[in-house]
Amino acid sequence: MTNAQVIQKTKDHVEKLFRSEGTGHDWWHMYRVWKLAKHIAAKEPKADTFIVELGALLHDIADWKFNDGDMEAGPRTARTWLESLEVDNEIIIKIEDIVRNVSFKGAHVKQDMKSLEGRIVSDADKLDAMGAIGIARTFAYGGAHDTPIYDPDIKPVQHKTFEEYKNSKSHTINHFYEKLLLLKDKLYTQTAKAMADHRHEVMEAYLNEFYEEWEGNL
């Protein structure tokens, strides 16, 4: 099977699984991350685009948030799928590493993405959590999990460990301060950093508008 066929089959597989997902971690999120990753990879001549594309398409194949906090659900599911397509084990190991390490794990938790391909996928995933799309996805996720929109009495927390971040209970507006507004400074590639500036500004402008309306000033 050619690389192009593996990518096409993986795209079709992921689209079928997640087309109707309603938390913002749907097929269209994976599609955008795939497109963003290809765009960033085009600016990084040393990147293996086959690994970038597979990593992007499979990065949320079994997110820990929907698998009882199991961080190995994603790598395990990705391996099973790629083995069914007879992908080389060396490539599968690289995809597992991307899936395992792509997610944000807390404000003060160090990122551990070592490969260029993984960093490209990580940047693409972070970009899709920012800007207008990021705002929409945040409220979609909050609504799906019965999370209040805002409670001014509950302040944001800069989580020091993944366990602390994973187990935190708050409101959706706090998610901006606990994750989304931090993403701009956690990007790896210059291409992603340049793209992030506008998306970051969109989120800041939205929050300013939100607080004005919350207090009845607009």
Q: What is the torsional sign of CA 24, 98, 105, 168?
A: positive
How far is 53 from 178, CA to CA, in rounded Å? 29
Ranges of residues in the chain with a pLDDT under 50 are none
* Nearest C-alpha neighbor of 66 from the set 23, 115, 117, 15: 23
pTM: 0.93
Hey, how many other C-beta atoms are within 10 angstroms of the C-beta on 186? 15
pLDDT value for 18: 92
Are 125 and 98 a contacting pair, CB within 8 Å? no
pLDDT tens-digit readout, 182-195:
999 999 999 999 99
> Nearest 5 degrees, angle CA 67-CA 70-CA 72?
115
pLDDT value for 56: 97
Amino acid at 189: T
The DSSP string of 66-126 is GTTT-TTHHHHHHHHHHHHTT--HHHHHHHHHHHHH-S---TTSPP---SHHHHHHHHHHH
Residue spans per domain, the chain: 3-214
Look up the CATH architecture of domain 3-214. Orthogonal Bundle (1.10)
pLDDT value for 122: 96
How far is 141 from 138, CA to CA, in rounded Å? 5
